[in-house]
Structure 1
Amino acid sequence: MGKRLTWYILAGLVLGGLLGWALNAAYDDGGGAGTKFVENIAYYLDIPTQMFLHLIKMIIAPLVVSTLTVGIAHMGGTGAIGRVGVRAFLWFVCASLVSLTLGLILVNLLQPGVGLNLPLPDVAASSGVDRSAFDAAKFFTHLIPTSAIEAMASNDILQLVIFSLFFGVAMAAVGERAKPLLDGLESLVSVMLTVTGYVMLFAPVAVFCAVARTLATRGLGVVGDLAFFMGSFYIGLFVLWAVLLGACYLVVGRRTGLLLRYLRDPILLGFSTASSEAAYPRTLEALDKFGVPPRIASFVLPLGYSFNLDGSMMYMTFASIFIAQAYGIHLDWGTMITMLLMLMITSKGIAGVPRASLVVITGTLSHFQIPEAGVLLILAVDHFLDMGRTATNVIGNAVAATVVARWEGGFDAPESPDHKIVFPSAPAPGADDSFEDYGKPQA
Structure 2
Amino acid sequence: MSRRLTTLIVAGMVSGVCAGFAANQIVGGSAETAGQVAGYFHLLADIFLHLIKMIIAPLVFSTLVAGVAHMGDSGALGRIGGRAMAWFVIASLISLTLGLVFVNLFAPGEGLDLVRSATNVDAAVNGSALNLRDFVLHVFPTSMVGAMADNSVLQIVVFSLFIGVGLTALGEAGKPVVVLIETMAQLMLKVTGYVMRVAPLAVFGALAAAVTTEGLGVLRTLGTLVGEFYLALMALWVLLLAAGALFLGKRIFSLIRHVREPVLLAFSTASSEAAYPKMLEQLDRFGVPRRIYSFILPLGYSFNLDGSMMYATFATMFIAQAYGIDLPLMTQITILLVLMVTSKGIAAVPRASLVVVAATLAQFDLPVEGVAFILAVDHFMDMGRTATNVLGNAIATSVITQWEGLLAPESEGERPVPAVAEADIAAKIALP
After TM superposition, is the score higher than 0.5?
yes
Match of residue 368 from structure 1:
364
**AA of the residue aligned to 1:136:** V
Question: Contact 1:310 / 1:396 at 8 angstroms: preserved in 2?
Answer: yes
Unaligned runs of 5+ in 2: 20-66, 124-148, 168-174, 187-199, 208-215, 419-432
Share of identical aligned residues, percent?
A: 49
Q: Aligned with 2:362: secondary structure?
A: helix
1:268 counterpart = 2:289: no
Residue matched to 1:89: 85
Task: Assess if the C-alpha contact under 8 Å between 2:280 and 2:417 holds in 1.
Answer: no
Partners of 1:341 and 1:119 in 2: CA distance: 27
Cα shift at 1:122? 2.0
Deviations 1:390-426 (A, max 9, x none): 100000111110110011004112121674259xxxx
Distance in 2 of aligned mates of 1:276 and 1:248: 20
User: C-alpha distance in 2, partners of 1:80/1:27?
Assistant: 55
Within 5 A, what are the aligned runs for 1:222-233? 226-233=222-229
CA distance in 2, matches of 1:296, 1:333: 40
- Give the structure-2-normalised TM-score: 0.61
- Secondary structure in structure 2 of the residue aligned to 1:372: coil
8 Å Cα contact 2:311-2:353 kept in structure 1: yes
Give the Cα separation in 1 of the matches to 2:395 and 2:370: 34
Cα distance 1:282–1:421, how it changes in 2: closer, same or farther (>3 A)? closer
In the other structure, the counterpart of 1:136 is 157
Q: Could you tell me how far apart the structure 2 residues matched to 1:116 and 1:309 are?
A: 29
Q: What TM-score does the superposition give when structure 1 sets the normalisation length?
A: 0.60
Aligned counterparts of 1:245 and 1:301: Cα–Cα separation in 2: 17
Q: Is the 8 A contact 2:262 2:278 kept in 1?
A: yes
In structure 2, do the counterparts of structure 1 residues 224 and 273 end up closer, same or farther at CA, with 3 Å as the change threshold? farther
Number of aligned pairs? 302
SS in 2 for 1:329: coil
Work out the CA distance in 1 between the residues paired with 2:182 and 2:285: 27
Secondary structure of 2:247's counterpart equals: helix
Give 1:262 deviation, angstroms. Answer: 0.8
Q: Give deviations 1:43-62, integer Å, cap 9, x for gaps.
A: xxxxxxxxxxxxxxxxxxxx
The answer to whether the aligner puts 1:292 opposite 2:313 as a matched pair is: no
SS in 2 for 1:399: helix
CA distance in 2 between counterparts of 1:27 and 1:367 reads 32
Aligned pairs (5 A) from 1:40-55: none
Report Cα offsets for 1:217-240 as digits up to 9, x if no partner: 999x99755110001111111111
> Which segment is superposed worse, 130-139 or 351-360?
130-139
Give SS of 1:328's match: coil
**Cα offset for 1:385?**
1.0
1:301 touches 1:398 (CA, 8 Å); kept in 2?
yes
Write the mapping of 1:4-83 to structure 2, written as runs, cut at 5 A: 30=18, 78-83=74-79
Q: Deviations over 1:248-270 (max 9, x none)?
A: 00111011011111111111111
Shift of 1:139: 3.7
Aligned mates of 1:84, 1:348 — CA distance in 2: 19
Q: Distance in 2 between matches of 1:398 and 1:313?
A: 17
- Is the contact between residue 358 and residue 368 of structure 2 (CA under 8 Å) also seen in structure 1? yes
Alignment counterpart, residue 242 of structure 2, candidates 243, 246, 250: 246
Instruction: Choose the corresponding residue for 1:119, options 97, 111, 115.
Output: 115
Q: Is the 8 A contact 2:267 2:386 kept in 1?
A: yes
Q: 1:225 to 1:131 in 2, by over 3 A?
A: farther
Give the letter aligned to residue 104 of structure 1.
Answer: L
Kept in 2, the 8 Å contact 1:88–1:300? The answer is yes
Partners of 2:75 and 2:11 in 1: CA distance:
58
What residue number does 1:317 align with?
313
Native 8 Å contact 1:131 1:362 kept in 2: no
1:149–1:118: structure 2 CA closer, same or farther, 3 Å change rule?
closer
Identify the residue that residue 203 of structure 1 maps to in structure 2: none
Please state whether the residue corresponding to 2:118 is helix, strand or coil: coil
- What secondary structure is seen at the aligned counterpart in 2 of 1:416? coil
